[in-house]
Chain A
Amino acid sequence: MTGTITKDGSEIPLLEAEKLTKIFGTLKACDGIDLKIGTGEIHALLGENGAGKSTLVKMLFGALQPTSGDIAWKGERFTVTSPAMGRSLGIGMVFQHFSLFDALTAAENIALSLDEKSPLDTIATRAREIGQTYGLPVDPDALVGDLSVGERQRIEIIRCLLQNPDLIILDEPTSVLTPQEADLLFVTLERLRSEGKSILYISHRLEEVRRLCDRATVLRHGKVVGQCDPRTQTAASLARMMVGNDIHVIERLPAEWTDRIPLIEVNGLSQRPRGPFSVALHDIYLSITGGEILGIAGVAGNGQGELFEAISGEVLQERPQVVRIRGTDAGRIGISARRKLGAAFVPEERLGHGAVPDMSLTNNLLLSRHSTDRKMFLTGGVLKLVSESSLASAAKRIVVQMDVRKSAENPDASALSGGNLQKFLIGRELDRNPSVIVVNQPTWGVDAGAAALIRQALVDLARSGSAVIVISQDLDELFEISDRIAAMVHGRLSESVPIEAMTMERVGLMMGGADATAGAA
């Protein structure tokens, strides 16, 4: 680069964004954002969902063009017109959702993303070297489909480092890692910093931002609302900056069990993988009584989705007694019949599983309630006419109950933000007052305010006598609401540990496959 560099290079920031604005239609996603990233610093970008973090990052990286404003790179103004140009400037990006092909090896995946053509052997050697230097051990010849999520992330980071970037953007990197894996990642990042590389670290985990980052920029509603040194802040003060007011603290009275009759039981559930990238389940037992919440921790892809589908009845079991709902053998009956026994289910994927994207909210209400609330929503006897009016009033009730924000009277599910749709989908089930509810990733991608509301609703449901299973990768969430925590690893479920006896370290070991009792020592 031929930009002017003063004798003291550190005075010119590596990247400086000035008055960066991006307007989509009538929405100002980013509104006059100023951001300075110095050489050799880990800079945190904090903000709730919808605060404008990803729009900002996409503009820096060249995937989006700003409506107005300037970006200066090493003191020189640039218009970054494409990700390829961002890469050649020296900006690397590691995405939250990996873009790797399962059926290719690590080295092949890396080769696909490189702009210049190099032989696979060379790439494999360089990947191995970089892996050793930065503590990112990966076998370049391994098939990506066989690798854990942590290993896949390492491939993404190595792929990024091979381009020799000066600035690395990491989007929610620890959301898929166990605490121990996250610790290893922090070592790598600190090492990169010591070599003078800069890192833009996007996260909503305030504790790790306080531990790792040198500076933080906080966004809210597309504007910068604060810049600080996170090490001098508390998690609570950072959260206040992000949300704009104090976050609702979950009220959790101690569980009172009047009777100890299990409402939902899984007895020796084993299942072969149902496809090339599906996980086998091995000998799973669980039993939950009314009034309690069982939290199931685990890194993504360890069989949580398969367990959910086995309990929900989307996948049937061979023996009926494998799944028991309120004392009835339910292993051979489908999801509608299980709902009629009093169970409710909220899957991880909202669009395309829990809801049909291009269908209205009232239609999506009918989706999971047509069998249990036949009398309310269907008229005309055998004709089964859909009663739009009673659907509309029920949808209205849920919208008010769960504080769902929407732009139209009855919008399509895909028109709602992730958090608002999730509130609606949880409210759709809670509205039935189920005696058993199984929720997979209740607050994935949901902003802090909505997440607190959802967690409180689940706690309240349990305290009113229902059995609740929460499958989550967010350990803070599980510690906040669970009465017991178990962990899934490689399709096995550990013994559950009462919350009083549980520690972060112990659950981390359980998620890594270590014996739960060994971790307690």
Chain B
Amino acid sequence: MMRIEIVKRPQHSALFSALSPFIALFLTLIAGAILFSILGKNPISALYSYFVEPLTEVWSIHELLVKAAPLILIAVGLSVCFLSNNWNIGAEGQFIAGGIAGSILPVVFPDFQGWYVLPIMLLLGMAGGMAYATIPAFLKVRFNTNEILTSLMLVYVAQLFLDWLVRGPWRNPQGYNFPETVQFSDSAILPAIWPDSGRAHWGFALAIIAAVVVWFMLSRTLNGFEIKVLGRSSRAGRFAGFSAGRLTFFAFLVSGALAGLAGIAEVSGAVGQLRTSISPGYGFTAIIVAFLGRLNPLGIIAAGLVLALSYLGGEAAQISLGISEKSARIFQGIILFFVLASDSLIYYRIRIVSRLSDTALKGA
């Protein structure tokens, strides 16, 4: 008889805690190489075109920043949620809600123009994400509902609502029946940072600012302290006089606002109109970004760039290797798997227990 036990380690290694994201990335590359060999591709050249080639051209680096911006914005908000033990899985829905709310001005009032249009759009986008995130927060605080389920289910509601809007009331009358809204006017477009060399828009700058602000809040202020205390021990948090319900609202509002901002920045900066689908799963991939960045907003900047690369690599692999771009999803899944596995093995060890000792005794 044999069984496998998972035993908590008395002490965990600080060195390996710091190395864990790198170990996870390394293991992901190995797993990727194995995957490519099984598909009959040369693993070295496949990994090269997946992870290195996109970094060799300037326009491609711009694309990297375009993809990284929403990932970082969303993941920074999620770090506040996850650190405080609020499992917001619905950032994808809050992203869409932000994109819709921010598009009200350019779609419904296209004649309304001026420098103030863009700031209002961004604020509306944040408000839309916040409003959508309030629903699971309220259900959790008031009815003790599991926020994982409610926030996830609301994603599909948002996706279908967007689909209906774009096919129905908001469809461009001059759009040859394509399910798209009108193209945004220039004053409703989030401009590129370096328009001469590529598409990267100011959403990336907003992401960096958000990361630094949230990092400061988490590491230096009483508010950040409250988040960490309640995330680790709700009872000690109550003893400290902190309110878990208030914090749940706070965390969902912050992450909803940032996801909403990411949504409208993507729509206004990268797409230029609303379509039936405005996200290749940014809201879900951002969960991986948050954990790969160890829930630290500065780490999340780096992790966001890594995961953005996986999107670009997927596109590149489709062109040069003939592999479906969905392979990016596989890589993202593998990264999350190895990140969580490395973290678990830092705190726990696996022990194989045999019942040998008992039988030895009976034999004696």
Please determine whether A85 and B357 come into contact, CB atoms closer than 8 angstroms: yes
Please determine whether B221 and A386 come into contact, CB atoms closer than 8 angstroms: yes
Size bin of chain B's contact surface:
10 to 19
- CB of B109 within 8 Å of the partner chain: no
Please determine whether A335 and B239 come into contact, CB atoms closer than 8 angstroms: yes
Complex interface: chain A residues within 8 A of B45 (CB): none
Please determine whether B357 and A353 come into contact, CB atoms closer than 8 angstroms: no
Complex interface: chain A residues within 8 A of B156 (CB): none
Q: How far is the CA of A336 from the CA of B225 in the complex (A)?
A: 16
Complex interface: chain A residues within 8 A of B358 (CB): 82, 84-85, 88
Q: How far is the CA of A349 from the CA of B235 in the complex (A)?
A: 10
Q: Smallest distance from the beta carbon of B64 to chain A beta carbons, Å?
A: 34
Complex interface: chain B residues within 8 A of A334 (CB): 241
- CB of A366 within 8 Å of the partner chain: yes
Q: How far is the CA of A54 from the CA of B345 in the complex (A)?
A: 28
Q: Write the chain A residue with the least CB distance to B356.
A: A81
Q: Which of A93-101, A188-196, A291-299, A356-364 lies on the face that meets chain B?
A: A356-364
Mark out the residues of chain A between 351 and 392 whose CB falls within 8 Å of any chain B CB in the assembled complex.
352-359, 363, 366-368, 370-371, 378, 380, 383-386
Please determine whether A367 and B357 come into contact, CB atoms closer than 8 angstroms: no
Q: How far is the CA of A355 from the CA of B239 in the complex (A)?
A: 9
Please determine whether A336 and B221 come into contact, CB atoms closer than 8 angstroms: no
Q: Smallest distance from the beta carbon of A139 to chain B beta carbons, Å?
A: 33
Q: Smallest distance from the beta carbon of A44 to chain B beta carbons, Å?
A: 29
Mark out the residues of chain A between 325 and 350 whose CB falls within 8 Å of any chain B CB in the assembled complex.
334-336, 339, 345, 347, 349
- CB of B37 within 8 Å of the partner chain: no
- CB of B228 within 8 Å of the partner chain: yes
- CB of B9 within 8 Å of the partner chain: no
- CB of B229 within 8 Å of the partner chain: yes
Contact with A along B215-251 (1 / 0, CB 8 A): 0000011110100110011011011110000000000
Which among B221, B239, B357 has the greatest number of chain A C-beta atoms within 10 A?
A: B239
Contacting residue for A359 out of B222, B232, B362, CB 8 A? B232
- CB of B18 within 8 Å of the partner chain: no
Known: A356-B229, A359-B232, A367-B229. A384 touches B239 (CB 8 A): no
Q: How far is the CA of A501 from the CA of B240 in the complex (A)?
A: 39
Q: Write the chain A residue with the least CB distance to B223.
A: A384
Q: Smallest distance from the beta carbon of A223 to chain B beta carbons, Å?
A: 23
Contact with A along B199-227 (1 / 0, CB 8 A): 00000000000000000000011110100
Number of A residues near B (Cβ < 8 Å) is 35
Complex interface: chain A residues within 8 A of B223 (CB): 384
- CB of B1 within 8 Å of the partner chain: no
Q: Smallest distance from the beta carbon of A75 to chain B beta carbons, Å?
A: 15
Complex interface: chain A residues within 8 A of B15 (CB): none
Complex interface: chain B residues within 8 A of A84 (CB): 357-358
Please determine whether A385 and B221 come into contact, CB atoms closer than 8 angstroms: yes
Q: How many A-B residue pairs have CB under 8 A?
A: 73
Contacting residue for B240 out of A349, A367, A386, CB 8 A? A367
Q: Write the chain B residue with the least CB distance to A363.
A: B225
Complex interface: chain A residues within 8 A of B235 (CB): 349, 352-353
- CB of A146 within 8 Å of the partner chain: no
Q: How far is the CA of A383 from the CA of B216 in the complex (A)?
A: 11
Q: Write the chain B residue with the least CB distance to A1.
A: B364
Contact with B along A202-224 (1 / 0, CB 8 A): 00000000000000000000000
Complex interface: chain A residues within 8 A of B229 (CB): 356, 359, 367
Please determine whether B233 and A352 come into contact, CB atoms closer than 8 angstroms: yes
Complex interface: chain A residues within 8 A of B232 (CB): 356-359
Complex interface: chain B residues within 8 A of A336 (CB): 240-241
- CB of A505 within 8 Å of the partner chain: no
Q: How far is the CA of A448 from the CA of B278 in the complex (A)?
A: 67
Q: Write the chain A residue with the least CB distance to B234.
A: A352
Complex interface: chain A residues within 8 A of B38 (CB): none
Please determine whether B236 and A367 come into contact, CB atoms closer than 8 angstroms: yes
Please determine whether B241 and A339 come into contact, CB atoms closer than 8 angstroms: yes
Which among A312, A353, A384 has the greatest number of chain B C-beta atoms within 10 A?
A: A384
- CB of B2 within 8 Å of the partner chain: no
Mark out the residues of chain A between 82 and 126 whose CB falls within 8 Å of any chain B CB in the assembled complex.
82, 84-85, 88-89
Q: How far is the CA of A349 from the CA of B221 in the complex (A)?
A: 27
Please determine whether B239 and A354 come into contact, CB atoms closer than 8 angstroms: yes
Known: A339-B241, A366-B225, A386-B222. A88 touches B236 (CB 8 A): no
Chain A residues packing against B (C-beta within 8 Å)? 81-82, 84-85, 88-89, 312, 314, 334-336, 339, 345, 347, 349, 352-359, 363, 366-368, 370-371, 378, 380, 383-386
**Could you list 14 further interchain pairs (A-B, Cβ under 8 angstroms) beyond the known A335-B241, A354-B236, A367-B229?**
A85-B361, A88-B358, A88-B361, A88-B362, A335-B240, A345-B239, A347-B239, A353-B235, A354-B239, A356-B236, A357-B233, A359-B229, A367-B240, A386-B220
